[in-house]
């Protein structure tokens, strides 16, 4: 669906073109902080120590990148870490650290917005859930290229509140679409328990009242990643983040068994492991596997799968150019990376390189 007017905050892509990808060790280390307790104060204390003055700048950078990735993915672990970050005792210091690092831009945007009249955690979490719900509706009708993440939704909420309600200005054509979606909502994305309670359109603004129908979440924030038994955000239903390496090994060990590999990719808990789908793309030589990944938005969008479109363009597998063409766009692959591919013709298929060159010429 195309809109005639200029995009507003609701239509901006989630995350950042080139987010810092943390090591597996940092991801597991940060996950462990919030898996050892169900006490939010314990999460906050553990996170403050993990990124405090007693650690090196490199360790702090890796750990903040891990928090950013977990939060963007929206697992129960990510929701807990984002809650701990929000009540950090020195938010201004964190805002300065993240602002200086382009790889932490998504986290920096939220922390920068926090500096002006920060919302308390409960209303922020409820409003973020409502914002995610309307963004999911927009994703369902093709207004957004990828599902929103917790960081994006929380940043919009924090940037547009007056202390009580959230009001986001929208252009007339988008307002008309939103009115129709609110009047007749579509089914939410599988695995996401959305709610549009307290969401209205008022005089060219999308308004969210978190006091209407709002309830506290056990993780501090709502959960995006599907869990066993449905979408209920129960703390004990979280996948074991510490098994990440074992799951990765299991998937890659079956790279030559197409039926098993495709079954793995259908599992949201597996496809949401950062970098795993991109690694499958890099290793597989089966066109069927690549076609499934290209056709399924959940496998090539979102923070965990940011690297998938670029990996698909680099793949030597003979996938039809028609399928790959949608990835030859700056919303999927940065202009810098597209230029590198265009100049390095020996590393990619010739017809893909030619198509990239034509696209780049069209931008000038």
Give per-residue pLDDT as tens, 161-189. Answer: 988 899 999 999 899 999 999 999 999 98
pLDDT digits (tens, 9 = 90+) for 243-265: 677 788 788 888 888 877 888 89
Q: What is the pLDDT of residue 24?
A: 78
**Checking DSSP bridges between strand 166-169 and strand 205-208, what pairing results, if any?**
antiparallel
pLDDT value at 234 more than 70: no
Query: Secondary structure of 49-102 in the HEC alphabet?
Result: HHCCCCCCHHHHHHHHHHHHHHHHHCCHHHHHHHHHHHCCCCHHHHHHHHHCCH
**237, 252, 282 — which closes off a domain?**
237
Indicate the SS3 state at residue 201: strand
Mean pLDDT score of the chain: 85
Cβ–Cβ contacts within 10 Å for residue 90, how many?
Answer: 13
**Checking DSSP bridges between strand 199-202 and strand 205-208, what pairing results, if any?**
antiparallel
In this structure, the answer to whether residues 208 and 296 fall within a common structural domain is no
Res. 119 pLDDT band, cuts 50 70 90: very high
Q: What is the pLDDT of residue 256?
A: 85
Domain assignment present for residue 186? The answer is yes
Determine the average pLDDT of the residues in 111-125: 90
**61, 93, 114 — which closes off a domain?**
114
Across 14-28, 149-163, 198-212, least confident range: 14-28
Domain of 309 in residue numbering reads as 241-363
Domain assignment present for residue 298? The answer is yes
Name the domain count of the chain. Answer: 3
pLDDT value at 4 more than 60: no
Q: What is the pLDDT of residue 239?
A: 39
d(CA 131, CA 156): 8
More confident site: 290 or 73:
290
Max CA distance (Å), the chain: 58
Domain assignment present for residue 9? The answer is no
In this structure, the answer to whether residues 226 and 245 fall within a common structural domain is no
d(CA 300, CA 317): 17
pLDDT value at 269 more than 90: no
Q: What is the pLDDT of residue 287?
A: 92
Q: Are 258 and 288 in contact (CB under 8 A)?
A: yes
């Amino acid at each position: 669906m195309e809109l005639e007017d200029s995009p507003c905050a609701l239509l901006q892509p989630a995350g950042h073109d080139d987010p810092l990808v943390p090591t597996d060790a940092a991801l597991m280390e940060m996950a462990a902080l919030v898996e050892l307790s169900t006490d939010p104060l314990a999460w906050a204390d553990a996170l403050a120590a993990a990124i405090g003055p007693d650690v090196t700048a490199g360790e702090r950078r890796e750990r903040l990148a891990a928090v950013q990735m977990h939060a963007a993915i929206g697992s129960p672990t990510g929701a807990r870490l984002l809650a701990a970050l929000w009540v950090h005792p020195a938010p201004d210091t964190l805002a300065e650290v993240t602002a200086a690092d382009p790889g932490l831009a998504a986290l920096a945007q939220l922390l920068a917005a926090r500096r002006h009249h920060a919302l308390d955690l409960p209303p922020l979490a409820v409003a973020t859930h409502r914002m995610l719900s309307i963004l999911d509706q927009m994703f369902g009708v093709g207004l957004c290229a990828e599902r929103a993440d917790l960081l994006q939704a929380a940043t919009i909420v924090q940037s547009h509140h007056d202390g009580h309600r959230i009001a986001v200005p929208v252009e007339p054509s988008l307002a008309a679409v939103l009115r129709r979606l609110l009047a007749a909502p579509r089914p939410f994305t599988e695995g996401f328990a959305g709610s549009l309670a307290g969401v209205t359109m008022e005089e060219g603004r999308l308004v969210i009242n978190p006091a209407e129908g709002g309830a506290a979440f056990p993780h501090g924030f709502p959960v995006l990643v599907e869990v066993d038994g449905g979408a209920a955000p129960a703390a004990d239903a979280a996948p074991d983040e510490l098994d990440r390496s074992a799951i990765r090994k299991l998937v890659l060990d079956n790279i030559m068994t197409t039926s098993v590999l495709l079954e793995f990719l259908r599992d949201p808990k597996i496809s949401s492991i950062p970098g795993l789908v991109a690694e499958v793309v890099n290793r597989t030589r089966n066109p069927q596997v690549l076609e499934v990944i290209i056709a399924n938005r959940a496998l090539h969008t979102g923070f965990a799968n940011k690297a998938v479109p670029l990996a698909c363009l680099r793949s030597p597998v003979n996938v039809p150019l028609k399928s790959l063409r949608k990835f030859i766009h700056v919303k999927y692959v940065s202009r810098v990376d597209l230029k590198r591919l265009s100049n390095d013709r020996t590393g990619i298929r010739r017809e893909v390189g030619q198509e990239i060159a034509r696209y780049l010429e069209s931008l000038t």
